[in-house]
Chain A
Amino acid sequence: DTAVSQTPKYLVTQMGNDKSIKCEQNLGHDTMYWYKQDSKKFLKIMFSYNNKELIINETVPNRFSPKSPDKAHLNLHINSLELGDSAVYFCASSQGPTGFDEQYFGPGTRLTVT
């Protein structure tokens, strides 16, 4: 009965490969997010979807492509992986897209690009 789940938890891959991370929430929330946390623990938003519609798209290389097949799922596909993509990626969800909504985070996916 995990609220926000992500798979895989760890991902080790070589430069140039393509990989995907999946996220699911069972909270009935309308809004989902992808965050990137670097080695210094700085957490930065990448994308946000509200009711399957993309509403936030920060300055992220277009090698990153999110997809939301339904409100409960938000996946992240990364093409042509680079060393700098190594980080922990967190999925999160909230009731709505406003700043008054607390966010629920998944356990993270540690991506290591070699």
Chain B
Amino acid sequence: SQQGEEDPQALSIQEGENATMNCSYKTSINNLQWYRQNSGRGLVHLILIRSNEREKHSGRLRVTLDTSKKSSSLLITASRAADTASYFCATDDWEEGSNYKLTFGKGTLLTVNP
């Protein structure tokens, strides 16, 4: 089964700067989701982008999807200390005769320094 791979594994920036995280995957997808996980907490859904979409915005978040390169990026603009978290991409993984499941990448740890 495919798996999203985030890049970089860790990113440290100053408050106010933009943060860009990338995700690559292996096979065709119907959609790709991004989640955030604060330390010691569960994952929180951020945004879903469908395979026929190229870009999506939600507040300070901008997600792009390039299905020809099998990659997605998450941009957080004007970062804040509260954005410090791990960010995961997840792809829908489906095999004929089976059920859909989300396959998560290993995540990017973002640290925003005040």
Binding site for B on A (CB under 8 A): 4, 40-45, 48, 50, 55-56, 90, 92, 97-100, 102-108
Contact = CB atoms under 8 A, between A and B. Distances in A.
Contact of B86 (A41, A97, A108): A41
A73 B41 CA distance: 20
A100 B102 contact: no
Contacts of A104: 45
Contact of B101 (A4, A40, A48, A106): A48
Given A48-B99, A55-B99, A100-B31, A41 B106 contact: yes
Interface size class of B (residues with CB under 8 A): 20 to 34
Query: Closest 3 interchain pairs by CB?
Result: A99-B92, A105-B42, A102-B45
A100 B30 contact: yes
A41 to B, nearest CB: 5
Given A99-B31, A105-B42, A41 B100 contact: no
Interface of B: 30-31, 33, 37, 40-45, 48, 50, 86, 88, 91-94, 98-104, 106-107
Contacts of B103: 45
Given A105-B42, A107-B42, A45 B100 contact: no
A75 B40 CA distance: 21
B45 A99 contact: no
Contacts of A107: 41-42
Contacts of A106: 42
B99 A102 contact: no
Contacts of B48: 100, 102
B43 A105 contact: yes
Contacts of A41: 37, 86, 106-107
Contacts of A97: 99-100
Contacts of B88: 43
26 contacts: A4-B42, A40-B106, A41-B37, A41-B107, A42-B104, A42-B106, A45-B101, A45-B103, A55-B99, A56-B98, A56-B99, A90-B42, A92-B43, A97-B99, A97-B100, A98-B92, A99-B31, A99-B100, A99-B101, A99-B102, A100-B31, A100-B92, A105-B42, A107-B42, A108-B40, A108-B41
